[in-house]
């Protein structure tokens, strides 16, 4: 059935409500819009669903959410775990509460109990709730930091991590197997509650979650000494972080937390930013304004589902503020946590620092300095969660810290996803500790550069939308595989890792070894002088991403090297488009 036939089928089918049909009738005659809404099913991938809200098979709506949930329910029934139930959370986006209930009522109609948060909650708390309630799975309704028109649907498994093999493939196959929308099950809310298949959760999970975070504090003494002197500006960017971040900081002893008033309350329109991403400069405009006004030590921003943290820190020499990338803040937190644990109690012999393959090589230097293992995993924090589970099951390996360049990290094992609430807490604790040493966080960052090397890492991207864009992204990856690069921006290519084909090729010898990681559409180029480039299509947006890393003798040297390599990479790709 082509997109026109699918469009007509939705209009003719009594299963779809009148509001949906009215929306579809309004685009009659707009061939491009009809095609975009119906040329494919919104793909359920390893990260679940993510798409623009609206009517159609290629949109986020109650029917595509119900279809995904029916597939998940089928898989849960197949593995015989229906009795354990599913935890469900949602963020501040448009339709998030409605999608959460649609998922819950589809599960209930399949005899699977849903534990639904009473109001919006952070992603990491959903991960924690799955483990605490001993659920077989979790669902989080969020599109993270995407623009306002998007929403999404993430699936977690019993360990609290997003689904990984073999469950990801099993669930995806079940979702693909659901081809008739008329077969999707649901039931009225009151009937689900009466049958004890829908339970509202909230305060009890909140309290135990916050208690787990507070157990991770290394230097309460430092907070007690200077916490009341520190000034912290915080913005939840209209999302879920407002209450938990303020609560944990207050309970630990940071009374001077100034919340950006224009961005405090949940709002799915995200009216103060073009898109709510703490990686973007514009997300900090209001925070910096307030920070300068109150003379803040640091300025924090969490994305709508509070799993990513952006940071600006004060420079005591100039009085200005420096932004920290996810690589910088992750290494700052990791070095502090690991270093202070070593000082206070020593490190386990099998201690491990886990990072994604596109994260900074400064992490490698930190691990080497402390004599612990550095483990690389594929992009996606679920693979860090998977590594924690492996440590627990085998008894080999002790998780000390995990991070990825996309502004996410985790300091404990209470959850299995990145947590901006604990990252905010850890960074404020580190700031207090360094303050007792007459240092700012920026001073600590400079000291790390001197100690480990001036690493500069960043990501560039090219957006290619629509059917043509998908084809072009595929063509770029195919071309790079066919025409092996031997030089990029003056750097010689030493090794090429092709994660789709599980190969690491030494260019000098032609020797090929396996990557040892699951298949993924990623190419990684190891270059001379500790530089590197990694290319991968985004799993959530119509983009191809280029991760670039260099190491300099100084900050100026690193900046110069990065600028040259970054330009060379983009020039090569633009020549392919």
Taking the C-alpha atoms of residue 550 and residue 279, their distance in angstroms, rounded to an integer, is 20
Helix (H) or strand (E) holding 425: helix 420-436
Residue where the block lists tokens 């995990």:
402
Could you tell me which residues come within 8 angstroms of residue 109 by beta carbon, excluding any fewer than 6 positions away? 185, 186, 187, 192
Q: Give 35-60 as a DSSP string.
A: HHHHSSPPP-BTTBEEEEBSSSTTSB
Helix (H) or strand (E) holding 343: helix 326-345
- 147 backbone φψ class: left, alpha, beta (φ>0; ψ -120 to 50): beta
Sheet with 257-259, edge to edge strand ranges = 257-259, 232-235, 298-302, 309-314, 321-324
- The Cα-based distances of 393 to 167, 374, 387, 396, 516 in angstroms read 17, 19, 10, 8, 19
Taking the C-alpha atoms of residue 206 and residue 128, their distance in angstroms, rounded to an integer, is 10
**What pairs with residue 463 in β-bridges?**
543
Among residues 92, 144, 329, 406, the one annotated as catalytic is: 144
Which of 456, 457, 461 has the alpha carbon at shortest distance from 476?
461
- Is-cis flag, bond preceding 454, omega within 30? no
Q: If you ran DSSP here, which 8-state letter would residue 194 be given?
A: H
**Chain-centre distance of CA 507, in angstroms?**
33
What burial letters (b/e) apply to 416-455, b meaning 16+ CB within 10 Å?
bbbbbbbbbbbbbbbbbbbbeeebbbbbbbbebbeebebb
3-state secondary structure of 7: helix
- The Cα-based distances of 331 to 362, 365, 430 in angstroms read 7, 10, 12
424 is catalytic: no
Could you tell me which residues come within 8 angstroms of residue 80 by beta carbon, excluding any fewer than 6 positions away? none
3-state secondary structure of 259: strand
Q: Please list the active-site residues.
A: 144
């Amino acid at each position: 059935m082509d997109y026109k036939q699918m469009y007509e089928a939705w209009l003719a089918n009594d299963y779809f409500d009148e509001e949906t049909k009215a929306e579809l009738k309004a685009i009659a005659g707009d061939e491009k819009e009809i095609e975009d809404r119906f040329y494919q099913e919104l793909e359920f991938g390893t990260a679940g669903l993510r798409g623009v809200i609206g009517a159609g098979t290629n949109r986020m709506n109650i029917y595509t959410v119900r279809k995904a949930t029916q597939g998940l329910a089928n898989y849960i029934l197949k593995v015989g775990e229906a009795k354990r139930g599913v935890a469900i959370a949602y963020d501040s986006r448009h339709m998030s509460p409605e999608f959460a209930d649609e998922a819950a009522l589809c599960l209930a109609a399949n005899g699977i109990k849903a534990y639904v948060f009473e109001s919006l909650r952070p992603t990491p708390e959903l991960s924690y709730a799955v483990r605490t309630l001993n659920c077989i799975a979790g669902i989080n309704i969020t599109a993270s930091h995407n623009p306002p028109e998007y929403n999404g649907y993430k699936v977690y498994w019993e360990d609290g991590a997003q689904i990984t093999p073999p469950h990801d493939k099993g669930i995806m196959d079940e979702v693909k197997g659901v081809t008739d929308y008329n077969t999707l099950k649901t039931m009225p809310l009151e009937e689900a509650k009466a049958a004890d298949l829908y339970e509202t959760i909230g305060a009890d999970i909140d309290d135990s979650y916050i208690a787990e975070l507070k157990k991770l504090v290394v230097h309460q003494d430092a907070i007690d000494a200077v916490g009341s002197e520190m000034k912290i500006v915080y913005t939840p960017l209209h999302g879920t972080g407002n209450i938990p971040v303020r609560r944990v900081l207050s309970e630990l002893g940071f009374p001077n937390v100034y919340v950006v008033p224009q961005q405090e309350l949940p709002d799915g329109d995200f009216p103060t930013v073009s898109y709510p991403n703490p990686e973007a400069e514009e997300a900090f405009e209001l925070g910096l304004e307030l920070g300068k006004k109150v003379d803040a030590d640091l300025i924090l921003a969490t994305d709508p589902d509070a799993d990513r943290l952006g940071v600006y820190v004060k420079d005591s020499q100039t009085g200005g503020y420096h932004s920290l990338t996810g690589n910088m803040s992750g290494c700052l937190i990791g070095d502090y946590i690991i270093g202070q644990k070593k000082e206070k109690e020593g490190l386990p012999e099998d201690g491990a620092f886990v990072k994604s393959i596109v994260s900074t090589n400064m992490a490698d230097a930190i691990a080497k300095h402390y004599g612990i293992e550095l483990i690389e995993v594929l992009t996606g924090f679920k693979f860090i969660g998977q590594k924690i589970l492996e440590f627990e099951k085998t008894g080999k390996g002790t998780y000390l810290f995990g991070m990825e360049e996309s502004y996410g990290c985790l300091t404990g094992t209470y959850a299995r996803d990145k947590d901006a609430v604990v990252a905010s807490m850890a960074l404020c604790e580190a700031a207090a500790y360094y303050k007792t040493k007459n240092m700012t966080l920026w001073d600590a960052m400079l000291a790390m550069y001197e100690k480990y090397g001036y690493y500069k890492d960043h990501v560039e991207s090219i957006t290619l939308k629509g059917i043509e864009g998908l084809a072009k992204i595929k063509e770029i990856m195919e071309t790079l595989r066919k025409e092996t690069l031997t030089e990029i921006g003056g750097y010689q290519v030493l090794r090429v890792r092709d994660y789709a084909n599980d190969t690491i090729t030494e260019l000098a010898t032609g020797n090929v070894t396996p990557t040892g990681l699951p298949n993924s559409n990623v190419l990684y180029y190891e270059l001379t002088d500790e530089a590197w480039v990694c290319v991968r299509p985004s799993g959530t947006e119509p983009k191809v991403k280029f991760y670039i890393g260099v190491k300099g003798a100084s900050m100026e040297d690193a900046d110069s090297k990065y600028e040259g390599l970054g330009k060379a990479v983009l020039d090569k790709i633009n020549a392919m488009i």
